[in-house]
Amino acid sequence: MEQSMIKKPPTSVLELKGIRKSFNTGKSNETEILHGIDLSLMEGEFCAVVGPSGSGKSTLLNTVGLLDRPSSGSLKICGQETSLLTDQMLTGLRGRKIGFVFQYHYLLSAFTAIENVMIPMFADAVFTNDAMRERAAFLLESVGLTPWMNAPAAHLSGGQQQRVAVARALAMNPALILADEPTGNLDTKSADGVFELLQNVCAQQGTTFLFVTHNLLLSSRCKRIIEVIDGQLTQN
């Protein structure tokens, strides 16, 4: 008799409980931007974040990305509570577990596509030079850029540059990718291509995405949408 296969339950990638974030703490002009945020994301989720300008989306992303510490509350990445970690420990956790894709690609224009993808791996002693180049080549192949892997970033189109940025974000095989308006500077066709690429990565590799966008057509194609309004979340 064949043994029935047991499906592994999804694991928690991100868990926020009661997250508050204030600026100018203790001063007369102290301002609270995030008001008790609760949010959980599981492995392989693709979640769109929408909301008007000034609603707190960027503050939320910076907090989740461990670039800013919350003023209070619990923030766990892959089950690890971050509130008591030192700045050095936060940097290490961010480098291992979180990838970033921004509206502007932030590639080094004089470097080739493959060199740009290798950059996050230089700081990790796990990779040899050959292993870094092999992984970077694999990632560029996965985003359809093998023919351009040795081309300087400045010679690539906007859509191609953003695909390199996606490959770079995947370099350390992160559990979570934060994508902040990654299609905002692209034409409609290129934007659609980058969006489909992100969704394919999510589906094929189980990477969790938190995708900030003002593009309602793209957000409507996401299985989960959260809206940030005045520093608070609503979810569908």
Flag whether 10 is in a domain.
no
Flag whether 183 is in a domain.
yes
Flag whether 15 is in a domain.
no
Question: In the prediction, which pLDDT does 182 show?
Answer: 87
pLDDT range class, residue 105, cuts 50, 70, 90: confident
Dump pLDDT digits (tens) for 139-157: 999 899 999 999 999 999 9
Cα separation values, 51 from 14, 29, 142, 216, 217, Å? 20, 25, 31, 10, 14
State the average pLDDT over residues 81-109. 92
Question: Mean pLDDT, the chain, as a whole number?
Answer: 90
pLDDT at residue 169 is higher than 90: yes
CATH number at residue 152: 3.40.50.300
Contact present, 180 and 102 (Cβ < 8 Å): yes
State the average pLDDT over residues 45-66. 93
Measured CA angle at 86 (ends 56, 78), to 5 deg: 65
Distance of alpha carbon 56 from alpha carbon 64, whole angstroms = 12
Count of all residues that appear for the chain in the document: 236
Contact present, 44 and 207 (Cβ < 8 Å): yes
pLDDT at residue 6 is higher than 70: no
Question: In the prediction, which pLDDT does 1 show?
Answer: 42
Measured CA angle at 43 (ends 102, 230), to 5 deg: 55
State the average pLDDT over residues 91-111. 91
Give the count of domains, the chain: 1
Domain that holds residue 131: 44-68+93-235
Distance of alpha carbon 82 from alpha carbon 64, whole angstroms = 10
Flag whether 156 is in a domain.
yes
DSSP output for 85-147: --HHHHHHHHHHHEEEE-SS----TTSBHHHHHHHHHHT-TT--HHHHHHHHHHHHHHTT-GG
Between 67 and 7, whose confidence is greater? 67
User: In this predicted structure, which of 120-129, 191-200, 213-222 has the lowest mean pLDDT?
Assistant: 120-129
State the average pLDDT over residues 100-119. 92
Flag whether 12 is in a domain.
no
Dump pLDDT digits (tens) for 194-212: 899 899 889 988 999 999 9
In DSSP terms, which residues pair with 14 in a beta bridge? Answer: 41, 77
Flag whether 56 is in a domain.
yes
pLDDT at residue 16 is higher than 90: yes
Flag whether 159 is in a domain.
yes
Backbone torsions φ then ψ of 142, nearest 5 degrees: -70, -25
Flag whether 7 is in a domain.
no
Smallest CA-to-CA distance from 164 within 124, 201, 116, 121 is with 116
pLDDT range class, residue 130, cuts 50, 70, 90: confident
Cα separation values, 42 from 15, 85, 181, 195, 198, Å? 9, 22, 21, 20, 16
State the average pLDDT over residues 52-77. 94
pLDDT at residue 109 is higher than 60: yes
pTM, 2 dp:
0.88
Distance of alpha carbon 81 from alpha carbon 64, whole angstroms = 12
Dump pLDDT digits (tens) for 19-37: 999 998 878 888 999 999 9
